[in-house]
Structure 1
Amino acid sequence: MNSHVNEMRARDGTVGKALDVLDTVAGYGRPVRFGELLEGSPHPKATLYRLLQTLTNQGMLAYDESSHTYSLGLRLVRLAHVAWQHSSLAPVARPFLDALSARVGETIHLAQLDEGQVLYVDKRNAQRPVEMFSAAGKVGPGYCTGVGKAMIAHLAPAERARAIAQQSFYRHTAHTLTDPERFAAELDRIVAEGVAFDREEHEPGIICIAAPIVAPDGRVLGALSITTSLQNRTLEDLTGLRPDLIDTAKRIAEAAASWQFPG
């Protein structure tokens, strides 16, 4: 996380600290003990305990007395469901994802951009499912996923520069782009071609073609991808699906035109 974001969060006081704790608990993907949270926490023991107690009292976290663990609370789940309905592209895109999935028979991803990272908001499994990282609700890197590159490429110049600065450029595979300048050049090619590719950049053997979902006013609403394994298809095969992918992305953008999505 860059220094600017850290400075902004430092000004957010107790609310910001509590949200950071929620993020940390959610990040474990399982019930977590106080000691585990304390080990990686920037807060003193007493402060962390107080934040956890407040979040638990408010129903944002749940505490299991038998296992002494914290997990996400039902109030947070309800809020997340409402947010998914009102702020996510998923409800609008659902019928288009279903139709594309039926036509191509491969894994379909729908994603939105969150602080330079990819938030997967919906997914359709392939006819022959392939094990991979992505799942609805998961957060992935922007710089080495097809949907991430498609969205970042079509941002306004200042927003694109900010998104590039938010990338970790960690090498996930031998194909991962880890140089910001090469990544910027890749983004220019994506704008020119209209689609992005994941060439085994995030996971070995996993490839995809992705297209941005862009509102009439130029806002990037999200991205759509067709993902598969090299055991099933080649990049040339995916290139052949480009017209259908772009057409589906445009249809989703048209259907979402009257919706007010968060910036």
Structure 2
Amino acid sequence: MGSDGHSDGTVGKALDVLDMVAGHGRPVRFSDLLDRSPYPKATLYRFLQTLTNQGMLAYDADLGTYALGVRLVRLAHAAWAQSSLAPIARPFISDLATLTGETVHLAQMDQGQVLYVDKRNAARPVEMFSQAGKVGPAYCTGVGKAMLAFMSEAEVDSAIARQSFHRFGHQTLDTPEKLRAELAAIRVRGHAFDREEHEPGIICCAAPILARNGRVLGALSVTSTTARSSLAALEAEADRIKACAAQIASAAESWRFPEQG
């Protein structure tokens, strides 16, 4: 989050406030925002009023809470259609989910973190963290590591600096050195794994979606549970996953997919 000296000025501060509201995952009171805000009370209130007036936030006078506004929802839908791989990739990942019988995730990198942009459920869906629109850690997810492995050295350095390296389980890579070693192995074999590194019982095999020039567009994964599958079984789908990634990349380039931040 920014500070009062935010390098992007007023717009950057307003976006910080939007992030604060969104981060709560529910309507939030002014006092709760103030507790986490780097801005003085009057400054925070002014930003909330402006964002509400512009339809980016909605204020419930009865409950005294702020929530994301309808205008922001419209912008999010437009961004999904124009700057997300999801509309292009949907038929391909739907076919992959049908062929494998497992859940397929589609993700892109956002400021060093994984943004899930679509998800096709298996015939027998499994409850897990990853849902379209959610942001997850890059260092301990299959799609995150698949993207990191094929980014430039400068991009990897920047992304690693943003990782928390929180240890979710005994398999979690909890240092930059361990992650870098894993990324080197991923580059050799061309696909990544999640070995219950983020959630207990959740495993996956993932592949990057690469443009012809090697630029990382995103990643996709076939995900299952240790109760009904294994890493070996998921790796047996690696060629199929990579073929799907290549189809998405080809379709995206034809559409002149925009550069990712």
Task: State the match for 1:261 in structure 2.
Answer: 258
Work out whether 1:216 is the aligned partner of 2:208: no
Structure 1, residues 11-59: CA drift from partner, whole Å, max 9, x if none? 1111111001101111111111111111111111111110000000000
Task: State the match for 1:58 in structure 2.
Answer: 54
Work out whether 1:112 is the aligned partner of 2:108: yes
Superposition pairs for residues 115-126 of structure 1, below 5 Å? 115-126=111-122
Q: Distance in 1 between matches of 2:7 and 2:241?
A: 42
Task: State the match for 2:241 in structure 1.
Answer: 245
Q: TM-score, normalised by structure 1?
A: 0.96
Structure 1, residues 198-239: CA drift from partner, whole Å, max 9, x if none? 000000110000000000111100000011110010111101
Find the partner of 1:140 among 136, 143, 146: 136
Q: Distance in 1 between matches of 2:251 and 2:196?
A: 32
Task: State the match for 2:171 in structure 1.
Answer: 175
Contact 2:98 2:122 in 1 (8 A): no
Contact 2:106 2:221 in 1 (8 A): yes
**How many matched pairs?**
259
Q: Distance in 2 between matches of 1:262 and 1:60?
A: 25
Question: What secondary structure does 2:180 align onto?
Answer: helix
Q: Distance in 2 between matches of 1:224 and 1:202?
A: 16
Find the partner of 1:166 among 159, 162, 167: 162
Q: Distance in 2 between matches of 1:163 and 1:118?
A: 10
Q: TM-score, normalised by structure 2?
A: 0.96
- C-alpha deviation, 1:260, in angstroms: 2.9
Find the partner of 2:81 among 73, 78, 85: 85
Which consecutive segments of 4 or more residues in structure 1 shift more than 6 A?
A: none
Kindly provide the amino acid, as one letter, of the partner of residue 35 in structure 2: E
Kindly provide the amino acid, as one letter, of the partner of residue 144 in structure 1: C
Equivalent pairs: percent with the same residue? 64
- Structure 2, unmatched stretches of 5+, are none
Q: Distance in 1 between matches of 2:122 and 2:95?
A: 13
Task: State the match for 1:16 in structure 2.
Answer: 12
- C-alpha deviation, 1:262, in angstroms: 2.9
- C-alpha deviation, 1:114, in angstroms: 0.5
Task: State the match for 1:197 in structure 2.
Answer: 193
- Structure 1, unmatched stretches of 5+, are none
- C-alpha deviation, 1:179, in angstroms: 1.1
> CA-atom RMSD, angstroms?
1.4
Q: Distance in 1 between matches of 2:123 and 2:169?
A: 26
Q: Distance in 2 between matches of 1:101 and 1:239?
A: 15
Question: What secondary structure does 1:131 align onto?
Answer: coil
